[in-house]
Amino acid sequence: MAEGTLGTGIIILAVLWSVALLLAVTLSRLDGAISYAGIGAVIVVLIITLILWFIPRGPDPNYKDYVVYDSMYIGRTALISFCGVMLLVALVMFAMTHLFEPQLATSFLTKAAGRYVD
């Protein structure tokens, strides 16, 4: 494969994910048990993606006999873990402050004037 071109696997995965997300959005608006089929499609495509990701395709053609040691691995892993935890904390706090706020009913009529308020 030429350098800088997309492989067939990436194109197949892009099409699969596009179809799965389209199904999820389309089927979520329906009533009944069929509305959960979109989630099933996303889960199936996720499993296919993980299988294709973790099954080795063969020997690496760019394999060299030297070993590269990454001295910043622990620091980089700690930083990305900290960022992930802070993202989860921020999403939970957002949900608690904005999404789970009670929606109180308001009257269209004022109590004093007895007419509609614009």
In a domain, 17, yes or no: yes
What confidence tier does 47 reach under pLDDT thresholds 50, 70, 90? very high
In a domain, 114, yes or no: no
Structural domain including 71 reads 11-99
In a domain, 108, yes or no: no
- The tens digit of pLDDT for each residue in 76-105 reads 999 999 999 999 999 999 988 888 888 777
In a domain, 41, yes or no: yes
In a domain, 67, yes or no: yes
Assigned token pair, 90? 């921020």
Q: 58 Cβ partners below 8 Å, 6+ apart?
A: none
In a domain, 56, yes or no: yes
What is the Rg, in whole angstroms, of the alpha carbon atoms belonging to the chain?
Answer: 25
In a domain, 117, yes or no: no
When divided into structural domains, the chain yields a total of 1
In a domain, 113, yes or no: no
d(CA 27, CA 38): 6
